[in-house]
Amino acid sequence: QQQVKQSPQSLIVQKGGIPIINCAYENTAFDYFPWYQQFPGKGPALLIAIRPDVSEKKEGRFTISFNKSAKQFSLHIMDSQPGDSATYFCAALKAAGNKLTFGGGTRVLVKP
């Protein structure tokens, strides 16, 4: 059972555009929602994370929007650059279990 669903699978934007990646979760016990960026051949790198008591969080050009009632959250990449081209994963964690459950990933391509 896929507990975190991520869309779209891939996304192409022009430099300066705002890619938006969406995730939906099922388990209301999740209480920590991170986003990871992964380049080919590398491990995932923690970008930004949010707790469900907050509706939005910004760090640099990355913003998470969180809708607890809809059980959805999204990542916006402001002023995207070609160097942002990577695969992005959303994830969710239950404090009691402590394991991350990942979405399927979104491959983002930012064209110059």
Partner 1 sequence: DTGVSQDPRHKITKRGQNVTFRCDPISEHNRLYWYRQTLGQGPEFLTYFQNEAQLEKSRLLSDRFSAERPKGSFSTLEIQRTEQGDSAMYLCASGPLYEQYFGPGTRLTVT
Question: Interface residues with partner 1 (CB under 8 A)?
Answer: 6, 32, 34, 36, 41-46, 49, 89, 91, 93, 95, 97-105
**70 vs 95, beta carbon nearer partner 1:** 95
Q: Are strands 33-38 and 10-14 parallel, antiparallel or unpaired?
A: unpaired
Which of 100, 112, 110 shows the shortest CA–CA distance to 44?
A: 100
3-class DSSP assignment, residue 42: coil
The least CB distance from residue 70 to partner 1, in Å, is 21
Of 32 and 62, which CB lies nearer to partner 1 in the complex structure?
A: 32
Structure tokens at 92: 């969710």
What is the closest distance, in whole angstroms, from the C-beta atom of residue 103 to partner 1 in the complex? 6
Q: How many CB atoms neighbour CB 80 within 10 A?
A: 22
Nearest residue (CB) to partner 1, 14 versus 98: 98
50 in Cβ contact with 73 (< 8 Å): yes
Residue among 5 and 76 whose Cβ is closer to partner 1: 5
